[in-house]
Structure 1
Amino acid sequence: MSLHPIIHTKANNNATKYPRLILSTSIIASLFLLYIYFAPLAGAPLPAIINPHYDQCAFLTARFFIIILILLINYQYYINSSKGPNNFWNYDILICASTIILFFLSITTAVPIFMGSNLPTNAFWGETAALIITFAVALKTYTLHLLQKSADSLDQFVSLPAFTTVLDLDTDEEKQLPCSALQKDDIVIIKDKQIIPADGNIFWGNGSIDESCLTGKKEKADKASGDKVFMGTINTKGTFHYRVSASQDNSVFTQLLNIKNTSTTVNTATDLFALKISKYFTIFTLLMAVCTLILSIYLQKSPAFIFSLLAAIFVTGLLHSFISCTRIQFLTTLNKFARAGIFFKTPATIEQARHIDTVILGKTGILTEGHPVVTALQAEGITPKVLLALAASAEKDFDVPLARALVTSSIKNQAHLQRISSAQLLTGKGVEALINGDIIRVGKASWLEDEGVKISNELQMKAFQIAQEGGTPIFIALRKYCHGVLTLLDPLKYRCKAALALLQHMKINTILFTSDNKNTAKTIAKDLSIDQYRAELLPTDKAREIDLLHTHGLTIAAVGNADNDLPMLHAADIGVYLNNDIQANVVTAADVIIPANSLYEVGEMISYCQYIMKKIHRSFLFSGLCLFFILVGILISPLYFAQAAFLPIAAAVLAGGLSFLQINFSHHSRKF
C-alpha cells in the first residue's frame, strides 16, 4: 500500500510545518481577543483607550487588529489548504471558507459603526474566525508533533557510544575502536555503566544488563559466560568480555528499529476509510452550501443571512479534521507498543487483532522455560553411561534444546563424547549420526519405527509413563534396535497459567501445537486448561492444520519462537514471534515480534488492540452523529444558525473532536 499522504513531511515541509512560536502567538492573541470581547459584558477592567463605553470605534479597531494578526500569521494554512490527503476535497477548504466568510461578515457589521451608526458591537463574527483558525492550526501542529514523535526511532532512547574498548588478540592490549567498525569475532570489553555496542556472547565475567530498550521490562537480566548480550542494552553492574556475533547493521536492535520504522509507513483500512469519509463529507458539505446559497437567493434573503448560514455549514470542517486523525492514534499505539517491547510489522495488525478468536501455542520456550533437562535414562543392552555418551555425541553439533540438555547431562555424568563421522538433524523427528561405523538415532518413536527400528514393550511402557507425567520421552537407537529411552523435562514458565487465564477471560480459544507425542500433549493441555491440542506435528503439518481451522471461519494468532514455527506463523492471520533471535526469515513470516519471550505479553497485546479499535469505532460513530445533527439542525432551523448562534455548533464540534482524540492510554495494562 502507498504511504499515508501526511507522512511526507520532508517533501511537503512548508505546507505542513507550523512553528510553535506562531501557534503560541495565535493562542495568546485569541485569549486576549476573548478577554477584550467579554470584558464589557462581565464588567472586567479595560484600558480607557479601547473601552466601548468611551469609544466604540477604538474598541472595534483593537478587535480587528488582533483578528487580522491571527489570520495573517497563519497564512500558510490558507495557501496550502488544497494540499491535504484528498487534494482539493479536504476539511481545510471548509475551514478556510468559514473563516474568510466570517471575517467579511465582521467587516460588514463594523463598517456602519465606523460610519457613525449606533449599532451594537457584540457580533461574534471576527472572533469566531480567529478562534476557528487557531483551533485548526493547533490541531494540525499537534498532529504533526505526534507523527514526528511516533516516527522517531528507538535510538532516541539509546545513545550509542562512538567508540568502545576492544582486546587486540595479537598484542593482548586494549585499544579504542569506533563502534561502527566492529566486526564479527571482535573481543569487546564492557565495564560498569557502559552501553553494549554490538550483539555478542559473553565468554568471561558477568554483568547485570538493562534490556528495557528491547523488552520494555525494567528488571535487570543477570548475564554470565555463555549468555547473549545485545546492542543498545546497558551493563548496570559488573565487567565482562564478549565476542561480537553480528555487526551493528545486523544486530537485533537494528532489526527491531527497521521493523518499527517500516510500520509507520503503511496505511490501515481504517486510515483509508477515514480519508474517504472525510472526502465525501467535504463534497457533501460543499454541495449543501451551494444549495443553501441558491435557495437563499431565491427566497431573497439578505447577504448577511446567506453568509452567516454558509459559515455555519463550513465550520463543520473542524469535525472532519478529527475524523482524519485516525492515523495519529495508530502511530501513537505503535510507539507505545515499541516502548513496551512489542514490535508490529504493520499497523494493520492492530485492526486484525480485534477479531482474534483462537490462539495457537507452541510448547518449548513458550509454555515451558525452553531449557529442558535429562532427569532419567532407562537403558537396555547397553550401560546408561555409554548410551548417554552416544546420544550426546550425535546431538552435540546442533544448537537445539535437546542437544544442550544431552551435552550438559553427559558432562555431569562424566560420559565421554565420541568422534562422529557425520550427523543430520531431521526437523520434527530427531538426529541421525554415524559413529564408529554404526548409525545412531535419537528422537521420536514414530520416526524410529518408520526406519525399521524395534522398540521393546518395556521401553514403550516407560515412554507412556513419562508422557503421563508431562515429560518428553526421547528414544535412542543403535542400528536397528532401540537401546533406551530418556526422560526430558522442561518446567512450565511461572506466568504461563496467568497468560492462559487472560486469554480465556477474553473468551479466546487456545490450541497447543507440538511435535511431542499425543500423551505428553494431552497431559500438558489438561494441566494448563488448554482447549485443544495437536500432537506429533511437523512444521508443514502445523501450517496445514491452520489452513483447516480457517475453513471453520476462525481468526487465528499463532505464537512461536523457533525456525520450525515460521510456517505456522506465516499461515496464521497474526504470527507472533517470541524470541530475540531475529533473522530475515523471521521478519518475513511474523507480524509481531516480542523479544522478551513472554506469553503474557500476547494476551495484553490482543486486549489492548481490541480496546483501541473499540475506542476508534465509537469515536467515529459519535463524531458522525455530531456532524449529522449539526447539518440537520441547519436544515430545520436556518434562521437560528444565521443569527450568529455558533454555540451549538462549537459544542457539537468540540464534543465530537474530544471524543475522537481521547484514547485513554492508562488502560488496565500497566505497560500501555
Structure 2
Amino acid sequence: MALANSKTTKETFPVLGMSCAACASSAENIIKQQEGVKEASVNYGTGNLIVEFDTASTSIEALQKALQSGGYDLLIEEESKQQETLEEIHQAKFHQLKTKTIWAIILSLPVVIIGMFFMNMPYANEIMLVFSTPVVIWLGRDFFIGAWKQAKHRTTNMDTLVALSTGIAYLFSVFNMFFADFWIDRGMQPHVYFEAAAVIITFILLGRLLEEKAKGNTSSALKKLMGLQPKLVTLIGDNNSESQIPIEEVKKGDRILVKPGEQIAVDGFVLQGNSYVDESMLSGEPIPVSKSENDKVFAGTINQKGSFHYQAEKVGKETLLAQIIKMVQDAQGSKAPVQKLVDKIASIFVPIVLGIAVLTFILWNILGGEHAMTQAILAAVTVLVIACPCALGLATPTAIMVGVGKGAEQGILIKDAESLELAKNVNAIILDKTGTLTEGRPKVQEILWTNEDPLFPSILVSLEKQSEHPLADAVVSYFEHQEIKTISNFESITGKGAKGNYENETYFVGNLKLMKEHQISIDKQLHEKANQWLQESKTVVWFSNSKETLAVISIADQIKASTPKAIQSLKEMGIDLYMLTGDNEATAKAIAEQVGIENYQAEVLPQDKAAFVKKLQEQGKIVAMVGDGINDSTALATADVSIAMGKGSDIAMDVAKMTIISSDLTKIPQAIKLSKQTVATIKQNLFWAFIYNLIGIPIAAGILYPINGFLLNPMLAGAAMALSSVSVVTNSLRLKWKK
C-alpha cells in the first residue's frame, strides 16, 4: 500500500544551528540515514538543505526531529514567511553572538594581562580562575553541548575541536592550580593556561560574529529582490470599493489599484487607466515604459505618476519576481563541482586533526624530555585549536553566493553554481537568430510612395488593422498615430493579403502575386526598390488601389542594438560563434553578415539544434547555447551552459541555467567574466585555507621546537584560526567591487 501511495518530492529548507563545514556534512549524513530519503545536500555557506524524499515513508517533521537530535534544526515555515523568519533568526543570532563576544572580551582581558605580565602576583591563579570560568562554562557552553550531541551520533565537527581544546586547557589549569605538588615533586613548574582557554573561546566567538555579519552581506542581492514586493495591496471590490489586503491573499482575477509611486504587487494586465512604469529591475533600462489597457505589468516594477486598475494574472510563486527570487535562492544553495571535493575533505578533517593531536601527545611524551607531559598536553591542545575546517567550508559557497548575487544585480540570473563555475571554460557559443540576435518582432524598415496623398496611409493602416496576418501588426505599429477610416467589404485573402473598399474605391495590401492577379500596374521605381529589399532578405508588402501600386513597404526583424558589440566582445575572448535558425538561407546569410558571424546554418529544426550542440561537444568544445523559444529548449538542455533571453518563452527559461533578464547580449561576455572572477576567488580561498592548515598544524604540533625552540601559544593559535575564516569571507566579498 505504501508503494502505491508513494510520491517523491524535492524541497529546500534552511538548516539552523550549523557553525562549520563539518556541521553541514554531519547534518547531511543524519538526513541521508532517514528512511525514504533519496538524496540530500546541505550547503554550509547558504545554510540550506536540498532533500528529495518519499512522502509515504517519511515527513518533513520526521526529518526535523532527526536533525534536532543531532543539535541542529529545520525551518519548515511557509516559503512566503521563510525569508522574514530567517532574517529574524539571523538578527537574533547576531545580537546574541555580539553580547557573548563583548562579555568574553571583557572577562578575558584581565586573564590575558595577568597570565602574560603579572603571573607571579599574589592570587594570580585564583583571579584568572574566577574570570575564565564564566567564559568557558557560560559563554562557551554551546561548544560543549554541540560536541556532546555530535558524539552521541558518533560524528565530529568544529564544536568537537573547540570543546576538547578549551576543556583540556581549562581542566589542566585547574588541576595544576589545586594539585601543584604533583608537578613540583617531579621537578616541574605547574603552569596554568586559563588565558588560553578563555581567549580561544573569545576569538572563536569573534570569528563567528564576523562570519555571521559577512553572511548577511553576501545575501544582500536576495534581500533587495525580496524588498521589491509590497506587503499590502489595494483591492477593488464589486462596487468599486477599496480595501487593503496582505499580498498573500491576492487571487487570480482580482482587480487591483496601483497608485503613483507604488510597487506593482503581482503579474497581470491593465484594465483601466494608463501610466509609465519603471521596469529597470527587469530590463536594466532606466526609461519608464508606457502602460495602457491590455498591457502586461510585472510584480516588483514601480509605477510612476499615473494610476490604473489591473487584473491579477500570476500570483505567489508564479510571478516573474518570485521566479527570479527562487532562481537566486536555488543558485546560491547549489554546490559547485569543486565544493563536493571540499565537503569530502571537511567530513574527514576533524577525525584527522584528532588523530594528529593524539599522535602529537604521544610523540611529545616519548621525545619531550624533562617537561614531556606538560609540553605534550600544550601541543595537543594547540593542534586542536588551530585546525579549523570553517575556512575550508566557506571558501566555495561564499564566493558562489557573492557571484550569483552580483549577477542578479546586473540582470544575469544564474540557476546553479555549476554553470557559474563552467562558464569561464566556454569556447563555443551557439546563438539562435530570432529573439536572440534580433528583436523577434517584425518592424517596418522603410516605405516608398508613388503618391504623397495623406489619405493613403490612413487607408493602409485601416486595412491592416482588420487583417490577421502577423506582418499587419508591424504596419499598424508604424502608423499608430494615423486616423482610422471605415473600411467596407473587407476580405482576407489567405497567403496573399487583404482587400477592402473606401469611398467607392477598392484597395489591396499584400504580396506581388496579389497585385498581378488583379492586373494592377506595377510602378517601375517601386519594383526596383522591392527587388533590392528582397536581396537584403527583407519581406516586401505592396499597397495599391484597383488600378496602380501606391506604395511598397519593407518589413524585417530588426537586429538588437546590443548584438554587434556583444559579438565583437565574444570574438575578442577567442570564442567560436555559430548562428542556427529555422529561417531561410537568404535571411540567415544576411543576418549573419550584418552581425559578423561566419558560421551559420539555416532551416534548422529543434532536434537539429541539439544534434549540432552534441557535434561540437564531441569535438571537445565546452558549448553554451543561447536561445529564447520553445524550439531552443532541447538544445539548451543539451549544452554545457544554457542561456535564455528574459523576454523569451517560460519553457526556455525553465530549461536554461542562466537567464539574461533584459535580453541584452552584452550580458553574455559579462557572465563569462563574472565566472572567471568567481572561480579565481574560489581558488584563492581554497589555497589560503589549505596553506593555513598545512603550515599551522605542524607548527602547532611543535615541528619547529627542535630547530629553534619555538612552541606556538594556544592563545595565538585561536586568533589565527578566527582570522582564517574572516579572511576567506572578506576575499569573497571583494567580488562585489570588481568590474
Q: TM-score, normalised by structure 2?
A: 0.70
Q: CA deviation at 1:308?
A: 1.0
Question: Are the structure 2 counterparts of residues 115 and 298 from structure 1 closer, same or farther at C-alpha, using a change threshold of 3 Å?
Answer: closer
Secondary structure (helix, strand or coil) at the match of 2:305 reads strand
Paired residue for 1:76, among 132, 142, 145?
142
- After TM superposition, list the pairs within 5 Å mapping 1:604-623 onto structure 2: 604-623=670-689
Q: CA deviation at 1:611?
A: 0.7
Alignment pair present for 1:363 and 2:363: no
Q: CA deviation at 1:306?
A: 0.8
Q: CA contact under 8 A between 2:273 and 2:293: conserved in structure 1?
A: yes
Secondary structure (helix, strand or coil) at the match of 1:536 reads coil
Counterpart for residue 574 of structure 1: 641
**CA deviation digits over 1:636-669, x for unaligned, max 9?**
3356788454588568646644542233545587
Report the residue type matching 1:281 in the other structure: F
Q: CA deviation at 1:537?
A: 2.4
Paired residue for 1:511, among 570, 574, 578?
578
- After TM superposition, list the pairs within 5 Å mapping 1:115-126 onto structure 2: 125-126=193-194
Q: CA contact under 8 A between 1:312 and 1:641: conserved in structure 2?
A: no
Question: Are the structure 2 counterparts of residues 198 and 645 from structure 1 closer, same or farther at C-alpha, using a change threshold of 3 Å?
Answer: closer
Per mean C-alpha deviation after superposition, the further-off stretch among 557-566 and 501-510 is 501-510
Paired residue for 1:317, among 378, 387, 406?
387
Q: CA contact under 8 A between 1:306 and 1:642: conserved in structure 2?
A: no
Counterpart for residue 303 of structure 1: 373
Q: Distance in 2 between matches of 1:505 and 1:538?
A: 30
Secondary structure (helix, strand or coil) at the match of 1:599 reads coil
- After TM superposition, list the pairs within 5 Å mapping 1:271-286 onto structure 2: 271-286=339-354
Secondary structure (helix, strand or coil) at the match of 1:242 reads strand
Counterpart for residue 326 of structure 2: 258
Counterpart for residue 230 of structure 1: 298
* Count of aligned pairs between the two proteins: 619
Counterpart for residue 46 of structure 1: none
Question: Are the structure 2 counterparts of residues 104 and 557 from structure 1 closer, same or farther at C-alpha, using a change threshold of 3 Å?
Answer: same
Alignment pair present for 1:559 and 2:626: yes
Q: CA deviation at 1:276?
A: 0.8
Report the residue type matching 1:321 in the other structure: C
- After TM superposition, list the pairs within 5 Å mapping 1:464-613 onto structure 2: 465-466=532-533, 469=536, 472-473=538-539, 487-530=554-597, 532-580=599-647, 583=650, 585-613=651-679
Counterpart for residue 24 of structure 1: 98
Secondary structure (helix, strand or coil) at the match of 1:4 reads strand
Question: Are the structure 2 counterparts of residues 304 and 250 from structure 1 closer, same or farther at C-alpha, using a change threshold of 3 Å?
Answer: same
Report the residue type matching 2:578 in the other structure: I
Q: CA contact under 8 A between 1:60 and 1:121: conserved in structure 2?
A: no
Q: What is the alpha-carbon root mean square deviation over aligned residues?
A: 4.8
Structure 1 residues not aligned, in runs of 5+: 44-50, 424-430, 437-441, 444-457, 477-482
Counterpart for residue 56 of structure 1: 122
Q: Distance in 1 between matches of 2:340 and 2:249?
A: 43
Q: Distance in 2 between matches of 1:87 and 1:501?
A: 58
Q: CA deviation at 1:273?
A: 1.5
Paired residue for 1:352, among 419, 422, 429?
422
Report the residue type matching 1:348 in the other structure: E
Q: CA deviation at 1:590?
A: 1.5
**CA deviation digits over 1:88-145, x for unaligned, max 9?**
243432232222232234335545789999x999978332333332333444455566
Identity between Structure 1 and Structure 2 (%): 23
Q: Distance in 2 between matches of 1:135 and 1:491?
A: 61
Q: Distance in 2 between matches of 1:36 and 1:505?
A: 62
Q: CA contact under 8 A between 2:108 and 2:131: conserved in structure 1?
A: no
Q: Distance in 1 between matches of 2:678 and 2:127?
A: 46
Alignment pair present for 1:2 and 2:40: yes
Counterpart for residue 287 of structure 1: 355
Q: CA contact under 8 A between 1:215 and 1:342: conserved in structure 2?
A: no
Q: CA deviation at 1:41?
A: 9.9
**CA deviation digits over 1:342-398, x for unaligned, max 9?**
33332322222232222322333433344431335899xxx99999999987754x6
Paired residue for 1:100, among 159, 163, 167?
167
Counterpart for residue 690 of structure 2: 624
Q: Distance in 1 between matches of 2:446 and 2:619?
A: 42
Secondary structure (helix, strand or coil) at the match of 1:487 reads strand
Secondary structure (helix, strand or coil) at the match of 2:425 reads coil
**CA deviation digits over 1:447-484, x for unaligned, max 9?**
xxxxxxxxxxx999988843765x544699xxxxxx99
- After TM superposition, list the pairs within 5 Å mapping 1:130-141 onto structure 2: 130-140=198-208
Secondary structure (helix, strand or coil) at the match of 2:166 reads helix
Paired residue for 2:232, among 162, 165, 168?
162
Report the residue type matching 2:353 in the other structure: T
Question: Are the structure 2 counterparts of residues 385 and 108 from structure 1 closer, same or farther at C-alpha, using a change threshold of 3 Å?
Answer: same
**CA deviation digits over 1:427-457, x for unaligned, max 9?**
xxxx899999xxxxx99xxxxxxxxxxxxxx
- After TM superposition, list the pairs within 5 Å mapping 1:180-259 onto structure 2: 182=250, 184=252, 186-202=254-270, 204-214=272-282, 220-259=288-327
Paired residue for 2:474, among 400, 405, 408?
405
Secondary structure (helix, strand or coil) at the match of 1:597 reads coil
Structure 2 residues not aligned, in runs of 5+: 1-38, 50-63, 74-88, 450-455, 501-509, 512-524, 543-548
Question: Are the structure 2 counterparts of residues 125 and 372 from structure 1 closer, same or farther at C-alpha, using a change threshold of 3 Å?
Answer: farther
Report the residue type matching 2:42 in the other structure: H
Q: Distance in 2 between matches of 1:599 and 1:77?
A: 51
**CA deviation digits over 1:478-516, x for unaligned, max 9?**
xxxxx9996323444333344334434443333223333
Per mean C-alpha deviation after superposition, the further-off stretch among 345-354 and 78-87 is 78-87
**CA deviation digits over 1:324-354, x for unaligned, max 9?**
1133332343344334443333232222223
**CA deviation digits over 1:263-306, x for unaligned, max 9?**
45433323321111122333332222233333333447522111
Question: Are the structure 2 counterparts of residues 68 and 637 from structure 1 closer, same or farther at C-alpha, using a change threshold of 3 Å?
Answer: same
Report the residue type matching 1:489 in the other structure: A
Q: Distance in 2 between matches of 1:252 and 1:495?
A: 24
Report the residue type matching 1:19 in the other structure: K
Counterpart for residue 427 of structure 1: none
Q: Distance in 2 between matches of 1:537 and 1:606?
A: 27
Question: Are the structure 2 counterparts of residues 139 and 501 from structure 1 closer, same or farther at C-alpha, using a change threshold of 3 Å?
Answer: farther
Q: Distance in 2 between matches of 1:61 and 1:467?
A: 98
Report the residue type matching 1:2 in the other structure: A
Q: Distance in 2 between matches of 1:216 and 1:3?
A: 34
Paired residue for 1:375, among 421, 425, 445?
445
